[in-house]
Every structure is written in C-alpha cells, then in structure tokens.
Amino acid sequence: MEKTWNNKAWFMVLPVLLLVAFSAVIPLMTVVNYSVQDTFGNNEFFWAGTEWFEEVLASERFHDALFRNLAFSLIILAIEVPLGIAIALAMPRSGFWVPVCLVLMALPLLIPWNVVGTIWQVFGRADIGLLGHTLAYLGIPYNYTQDPVAAWITVIVMDVWHWTSLVVLLCYAGLVSIPEAYYQAAKIDGASRWSVFRYIQLPKMHRVLLIAVLLRFMDSFMIYTEPFVVTGGGPGNSTTFLSIDLVKMAIGQFDLGPAAAMSIVYFLIVLALSWVFYTVMTNYGQDER
C-alpha cells in the first residue's frame, strides 16, 4: 500500500516555527549581524568585516576557555554516565522503594541552577560550610577561592551532584522497559551478570543513553550559572568556561562585535560536536541491531 502524504499537516507546526523564529532564529541573525560590525552604543554600527573572527580565532583567551570547557565536559561525562548507569541498575524495579528512589533522584533536578551554585558555595566554605569546615578539621587543604584544583573539584562534584540524576532516570526508564522474558532466557542460558548487562541491558538502554550523553554534553558545554555563582570563573581564569568568558566580553567589556563572533564560533562547535555524537551513536545502534 502506498504511503499517504498530507502536506496540510505542515500548518500544524506553524505555531512552533513562529515561536522558534522569535526565540532563536531572530536573535541568532542579530548576533551574526553584530559579529561583522563594531558599536560604541547608541544603536550606531560600523562595518568591521571578518576582523572579530580573526581576533577570536587567534585569541589565547578563547583557546584556553575552549580547552577548559572541553575538559570539563569530558570529565563530567566520564563520571556521570557510568555512575548514572550503576545507580539505575541498583534501583529496585518494583515495590515501595521505587517511588521513594525516583523522588530522591528527581530532587536535585528541581533545584534552580543559581540555588545549586549558592548551596555549594556555602557548603564549601571553611568558616560556615559543612564540607569546608570538615575538610579543614581533618587537616585537608581546601579553598576553592584560592586553589584552582579545589575550584575544579568543587565545580565537577557540584555538576555530578546536580545532573547524575538525569542520567539515572533516563537509564532507569530504559531498564524497566525490558521484558522479563529476556532475563528468563538469559537465566536458562546460564548467562553471567556481566553478560546480562552487556547483551541485554546496555543495548536496551542505548537510545536513552544517547539522549543522556547528548543532553549532558550540550548542557555542560554551555555551563554558566553554577560555576559563575561558586567561583566567578576564578581563581584567576581557572574555571572561566566559554560562556563565562562570553558574558565578560559582551556585558563586562561591552565588546559586542568580538563577543558575537565568539558566540558564533562557540555555536558552530556545539552544533558540530552534537552532530558527531548523534550520528556516531545512532549508527552504532543500527550496527548492533
């Protein structure tokens, strides 16, 4: 039977297209316009051509922020994905504890980003924070305002605390959708715990893991609020990620042209990496099937 094509259905997506146009496309077009001009305010612009792009591409400040951001994203993915899978595997599949675990897991996700930053900022302080005070009591040197390593550890642990739950909930959704017959068949075949995980659970979680990795990568690559609240990008520039640097440039220095050029380069990197992630993981799944 031939498939029916009804192009009138396109009208149903018009409201979404309008919304995306006003919230994303028009601002993006404006940023492109700003990236080739210079302004001193008062809505007056002067043509600069590709000058800002050349400046950004040659800028050590941009390279450093990009490297820090990539390192941060890779570290949190390396921690959150295996940890999320492990917690999801350990969670009960039925009974009283299921809703309890789900609510506990969802709690960090419900807290606004700036509140998470404030919680960890206070938590890590040696004078009033539980973590900082305990570490000082144990004689472990820890000061996230002066030591770059401590600042990085704080930002990473904070992100893991905030977002591992998302990976857990997605993996758990994948796990509970596996029919019991699969486990029974594995038991009859005498499959080990590792074999059950490798050949039943992991392939069945593949789709949700794809979403989890994509969401966490994009989100961590665009992280702003939490590190800004905790460290303000410091000490020095040690936790200045791309978005923090961008805001410093655009709002702090009012360099709208270079900031627009930097945001376009940033956007293209996010787009390219997300496409690579998506394509590789989607096609990996097709090979598996």
Partner 1 sequence: MTLSWMAWTWPTAIFFITIFGLLIGMGVWEYAVPGGSPRVGILRFETTRGDRLFVSLLGSAFICLFWLGLVGPSLWWALALCLGYALCVFRWV
For position 18 contacting partner 1 by CB under 8 A, the verdict is no
Q: In this chain, which of 47, 96, 137, 194 binds partner 1, going by CB under 8 A?
A: 47
Instruction: Return the number of the residue (146 or 279) whose C-beta is nearest partner 1.
Output: 279
Q: Which of 1, 2, 4, 7 binds partner 1 (CB under 8 A)?
A: 7
Segment contacting partner 1 by CB under 8 A, of 46-54, 146-154, 216-224, 242-250? 46-54
Q: Which two tokens stand for residue 260?
A: 């627009």
| Sequence-distant (≥ 6) Cβ neighbours of residue 8 within 8 angstroms | none
Q: Which stretch binds partner 1 (CB under 8 A): 30-38, 66-74, 86-94, 187-195?
A: 30-38
- For the window 134-173, what string marks contact with partner 1 as x by the rule CB under 8 A? ----------------------------------------
**5 belongs to the binding site for partner 1 (CB under 8 A):** yes
Confirm or reject binding of residue 278 to partner 1 (CB under 8 A).
Answer: no
Site membership for partner 1, residue 34 (CB under 8 A): yes
| 270 within 8 A of 218, measured Cβ to Cβ | yes
Can you read off the two tokens belonging to residue 286? 């097709």
Nearer to partner 1, 109 or 271 (CB): 271
219-225 long-range CB contacts below 8 Å, 24 or more apart? 219/163, 220/72, 220/73, 220/76, 220/77, 220/159, 220/163, 221/69, 221/70, 221/73, 221/269, 221/270, 221/273, 222/270, 223/69, 223/72, 223/159, 225/113, 225/114, 225/116, 225/117
Establish if 11 lies at the interface with partner 1 (CB under 8 A).
no
Positions in the binding site for partner 1 (CB under 8 A) = 5, 7, 26, 29-30, 32-34, 36-37, 39, 43, 45, 47, 49-51, 53-54, 57-58, 265, 268, 271-272, 275, 279, 282-283, 286
